[in-house]
Amino acid sequence: MTLVSDERASDEADEPEDGRPVDGVVVSDDAIEPADSKNELLFGLTWSGRVPTAVWLSLTLLVALVVRTVNLNAVGFNSDEAVYAGQSASLAGNPLFVHQFPVFRAHPLLLPTLLSPLFSSGTPDLRGRVVVALLGVATVFAVFLVGRELYGAKTGILGGLILALMPFHAVVTRQLLLDGPAVLCSTFSLWMLARFVRTERFEWLAASAATLGLAVLTKETSAILAGAMVLFLLVSAEVRRPGRAVALALVVMGAVSIVFPLAISLAGRSTTGGNYLAWQLTRSSNHAGTFYLTTIPATIGWLVVGAAAGALIFQINRTWRELLLVSWILVPFVALEAYPLKGYQYLLPIAPALALLASRGLTTWHLPARWGKFTGDVARPVLIAVVVASLLPGLWTVVFPPANASSLAGQGGVPGGREVGKWIGANLVPGTELMTIGPSMANILEYYGHRPAQGLSVSTDPLHRNPSYTPIYNPDRSVRDGQFSYLVWDAYSAFRSPSTSHRLQVLVTRYHGIAVHTQKVNGRPIIVVYEVHP
């Protein structure tokens, strides 16, 4: 096998001509589409005799934008969104948040720092989500770049469209979460890594490692992808001097990633960082061990997963390109499957590689030879349409979630939280403390209501609680002594922790609680604020 050199001394990918050997295999234009010098070029490529690549790419990005912005702010923040927004506001010196949301929490500060100018005043939420949504659209473009680099414009466009419509990626990038921006960085890193293999220029490898370091600075779990990079560099026969490549990648990535621990150290908060690490490593799992095998494929799209698997059936798809994509999928999946904690959005980094592998499978799939003439004109377009259409029902529930939608962390906002928080801010005396069932609702009410709140379910054991949260050591006495005049029950926390919900209801009954505000969805109470009288 030979590498394609960059003889033109440019950054454009060398696209194989029709029938030219690629990694020892002769391919047709169904496999990797050639450039057409007669048409206007986009990054050196168009689709010969058809709609220009620029048009298809623009339409794909427009679809991604619509999917990620329509009905974006219908529901207020969930707990994680409130925390990241609160961090951004504290970094900006917003007086409404500096005393309630600490700057140093469990994750790095790259995204909150970049967003902080948007949170310098007031209680915004939409603007933060818009930024993340736009970064999600940028990820679709990054997928196009990777697909074009590996296979050509057609595969890149289809891979981008699959990611644009994928419910898994869409729902996460419609929230102010770290995962979407982190995946943008890791996808650009994947593109640069492919450029390195194609050109044998170590500058691209250094850029790839540095960009992956930015992903780690966005969310520390992105460090898992370093394993995917190292595995590929060591295993792929196309990488010359793999030892040197691995050393360079790890040094550059480490130099970028170390910024966050240095910042903590210089701020004198090393103990805080250590406490967070201990908590992350010892916290119990919140889902069954089969969670990633059942829930995640369904939200990615079973047919997309099937197309990605099918891509590996064809002999033409057994090259360094597929090894790169499979490494980007397999290493995070195995690592996070072995890790007891199962976060819904943790596996998002594999979505771009899965979309591209599925696109590759769809663009190389063909009927048996005797029916081969129907492949390009009928069978393949129909199969692509079926796979893409299969994503639409799940996508509809993402853009227009039903009122009884799941409250699984990472799947969207929490109905009623914003409205109750604003009621609290308008009707309760500043400084009034709230007791909630758990810290999730406490975060939401603190963000929108600007009143301190504590969760009854927070463990008194330092090893089993988030260091940001303060436990209520003696709830009964705290109510009796007047620390908490208002107790808040919510259906979401009650579902996850019925025993703690019962404890709060006992306190409401014991201290003559009166419901002073009730938030309903479809006539059903979802959040109730009780005023207690010891």
Does 138 fall in a domain?
A: no
> pLDDT at position 410, please?
58
Give residues with Cβ within 8 angstroms of 460, minimum separation 6.
471, 473
- Mean of pLDDT values over 152-163: 96
Does 478 fall in a domain?
A: yes
CB 163 within 8 A of CB 355: yes
Domain limit, last residue, from 119, 141, 169: 119
> pLDDT at position 461, please?
75
The span from the CA of 371 to the CA of 408, in Å, is: 46
Does 436 fall in a domain?
A: yes
State the amino acid at position 62 in one-letter form.
L
Range among 5-19, 90-104, 143-157 with highest mean pLDDT value: 143-157
Q: What is the 3-state secondary structure (H, E, C) of 350-407?
A: HHHHHHHHHHHHHHHCCCCHHHHHHHHHHHHHHHHHHHHHCCHHHHHHHHCCCCCCCC
Strand partners, 521: 524
Whether the pLDDT of residue 437 is over 90: the answer is yes
Q: What is the pLDDT of residues 351-377, one digit of tens each?
A: 999 999 999 999 998 777 667 677 767
Q: What is the pLDDT of residues 452-480, one digit of tens each?
A: 999 999 888 776 677 778 899 999 999 99
| Minimum mean pLDDT range among 49-58, 285-294, 420-429, 492-501 | 285-294
- The tokens describing 135, both together, are 């970064």
Does 356 fall in a domain?
A: no
Looking at the fold, whether 203 and 107 belong to one and the same domain comes out as no
Does 250 fall in a domain?
A: yes
* Closest to 487 in 3D by CA, of 440, 437, 417: 437
In 3-state terms, what secondary structure has residue 517? strand
Whether the pLDDT of residue 18 is over 70: the answer is no
Whether the pLDDT of residue 152 is over 60: the answer is yes
Does 272 fall in a domain?
A: yes
Domain limit, last residue, from 247, 278, 309: 278
CB 257 within 8 A of CB 217: yes
* Closest to 84 in 3D by CA, of 188, 186, 172: 172
Q: What is the domain extent for residue 210?
A: 194-228+237-278
> pLDDT at position 281, please?
60
Sign of the C-alpha dihedral computed for residues 104, 106, 111 and 112 taken in this order: negative
Whether the pLDDT of residue 485 is over 70: the answer is yes
State pTM to two decimals: 0.87
Does 450 fall in a domain?
A: yes
How many domains does the chain contain in total? 3
* Rg value, the chain, Cα: 25
> pLDDT at position 289, please?
72
Give residues with Cβ within 8 angstroms of 499, minimum separation 6.
none
- Mean of pLDDT values over 31-55: 50
- Mean of pLDDT values over 341-348: 86
User: Which of the four pLDDT bands, split at 50, 70 and 90, describes residue 342?
Assistant: confident
> pLDDT at position 293, please?
87
Whether the pLDDT of residue 247 is over 90: the answer is yes
Domain limit, last residue, from 97, 119, 141: 119
User: Percentage of the chain surpassing pLDDT 90?
Assistant: 67
Looking at the fold, whether 507 and 424 belong to one and the same domain comes out as yes
> pLDDT at position 271, please?
55
Give residues with Cβ within 8 angstroms of 241, minimum separation 6.
none
Does 171 fall in a domain?
A: no
* Pairing mode of beta strands 453-455, 433-436: parallel
The span from the CA of 118 to the CA of 124, in Å, is: 8
Alpha helices, H only, 258-313: 259-266, 270-282, 291-300, 302-311
